[in-house]
Amino acid sequence: MKSRPNLLFILCCFLGSLLPLAQAVARPPNIIIILADDLGYGDLGCYGHPSIRTPNLDRMAAEGMRFTDFYVAATVCTPSRAALLTGRLPIRTGMAGSESRRVLYGVSTGGLPTNEVTIATALKSKNYATACIGKWHLGHLPQFLPTSHGFDSYFGLLWSNDMEPNGKNAKRASQDLDADQSWWKPSLYRNDKVIEQPTDLSLLTKRYTAEATQFIRDHKKKPFFLYLPHTYPHMPLFASKNFKGTSARGLYGDVVQELDWSVGQILETLRKENLAENTLVFFTSDNGPWLIKELAGGSAGPLREGKGSTWEGGMREPAIAWWPKKIKAGGVTSALASSLDLINTCAALAGATLPKDRTMDGVNLAPILFGNGKSERDLMFYYRGNELFAVRKGDFKAHFQTAPGYPGNRAQDKFEKHETPLLFNLVQDPGERFNIASAHADVLADIQREVAKHRANLVPGTPQY
Ligand code: MG
């Protein structure tokens, strides 16, 4: 006679035999992306800055991998962030902007389109806990908020810190090193609600850090994705009491040193919670230093120009990857890599799939990070707004157009189209000083063929600004 207890016993034995199998399937790694705003290639100790002290980022580089040739996909905030989160050139998503409006403003009714897949959306499909803490700048209407783009929670400013002016006070030069908080009325959001206005700009780095470390502690039992796009060192600059006046570089240095402290807090929390060996942390910046802000802006080190420009200083960024025991300590890579590649890398690590119905512009960085293969990236496209200005292939970069990041009234501040593109060997001449086009017609012709191929398949998205 069949009895229920026997069946139950068999079922229990069967499930019991599966348990070790389930435990053997490795939990996918946690992923943290820390993004500075307007930090230059030359602003960190480990990238050669002589007076800004960044011991935590230097240690992160010493324990992980430092990139020498890491690029973002745009020269300013909004399009660069759209590209990082979607792995698609901003021109494809409608997030490229134009010369008259280069980022989203309060009057913009657009944002990151709802049908775009972000890193957070992709990782949600693998049951990751997801949080965005910091500056969003991808749309302020409900359908464009972080919580509509795959993030379980959001805490931060939707805009840059200079974008909510307080009446006529905002006309004051924002590069002032003694800016007054009353010139702005920044709104601090939690999820889709404003919780403070004006919020204290000098406390943002501290508060983002507290939120981030709390999120890590709260979610240590399941895989998580933390996107931490800091408000600084975008001007106006404010540091908390503990950091104000601590850097020989002045207020800009104070602000960068507070960001460095923040990175140290994140890594220390991972160590304390025993999560370090199962977490990839990636640090970079959204665009180059804002040079016209003088001492309130950063440094591109040996690179030419800065924010707003398609010269190297505008789009080549400091970048550090950290994952103890997985990424070899102290590595420096000159492989070509981009923020466009982060979504492919994250999806591969999590076992998530990416959409197949659209052009993706990234590659998986795993071969570079884990030292088991070559970079799959050979090309980088440099867009300014919706126009292609330059292309890098291998060691060479051709400029079809050039312009300063922020053209002023000087004679040299003009846009120039180059009938014969300018050509530089970025390995031999990272400062782009010596045009070698006349000696390398074959290289130029090859790059022109890549441009034709790129243009043939390009479908621009609906402009969102
Ligand atoms: Mg920026």
DSSP string across 32-81 = EEEEESS--TT-SGGGT-SS---HHHHHHHHHSEEEEEEE-SSSSHHHHH
Kindly report the backbone phi and psi dihedral angles of residue 461, in degrees, each rounded to the nearest multiple of 5, phi listed first. -80, 170
Helix runs in 129-250, H state only: 204-218
- Which residue pairs from 195-201 have beta carbons closer than 8 angstroms and sit at least 24 positions apart in sequence? 198/164, 198/166, 199/157, 201/161, 201/231, 201/236, 201/238
Q: What percent of the chain has pLDDT over 70?
A: 93
Catalytic residue from among 77, 140, 219, 399: 77
| Whole-number Å distance between alpha carbons of 240 and 254 | 9
- Expressed in angstroms and rounded, the spacing between residue 439 Cα and the centre of ligand 1 is 36
Contact 231, 156 (CB under 8 A): yes
- Give whole-number Cα distances, 207 to 8, 66, 68, 239, 264, in Å: 52, 27, 31, 12, 15
φ/ψ bin of 402: left (φ > 0), alpha (ψ from -120 to 50), beta (otherwise): beta
230 in catalytic set: no
- Expressed in angstroms and rounded, the spacing between residue 204 Cα and the centre of ligand 1 is 16
- Expressed in angstroms and rounded, the spacing between residue 150 Cα and the centre of ligand 1 is 22
- Expressed in angstroms and rounded, the spacing between residue 158 Cα and the centre of ligand 1 is 13
77 in catalytic set: yes
- Expressed in angstroms and rounded, the spacing between residue 164 Cα and the centre of ligand 1 is 16
Catalytic residue from among 49, 137, 140, 149: 137
- Expressed in angstroms and rounded, the spacing between residue 77 Cα and the centre of ligand 1 is 4
* Total Cβ atoms within 10 A of residue 459: 8
Residue 174: what pLDDT?
A: 61
Residue 172: what pLDDT?
A: 61
| Whole-number Å distance between alpha carbons of 36 and 57 | 12
The pLDDT tens digits of the residues spanning 166-212 come to 886 665 666 789 889 999 999 999 999 999 999 999 999 999 999 99
Q: In what order do the strands lie in the sheet with 387-393?
A: 379-384, 387-393, 396-402, 416-425
Of 311, 319, 380, 336, nearest in space to 75 by CA: 311
| Whole-number Å distance between alpha carbons of 420 and 440 | 11
Across the chain, what does the average pLDDT equal? 94
The pLDDT tens digits of the residues spanning 115-131 come to 999 999 999 999 999 99
The pLDDT tens digits of the residues spanning 57-111 come to 999 999 999 999 999 999 999 999 999 999 999 999 999 999 989 999 988 999 9
Q: What is the mean pLDDT of residues 393-412?
A: 92
Strand bridging mode 279-285 / 331-333: unpaired
- Expressed in angstroms and rounded, the spacing between residue 78 Cα and the centre of ligand 1 is 8
Say yes or no to pLDDT of 14 above 90.
no
Contact 106, 398 (CB under 8 A): no
Residue 19: pLDDT band (50, 70, 90) is very low
- Expressed in angstroms and rounded, the spacing between residue 392 Cα and the centre of ligand 1 is 22
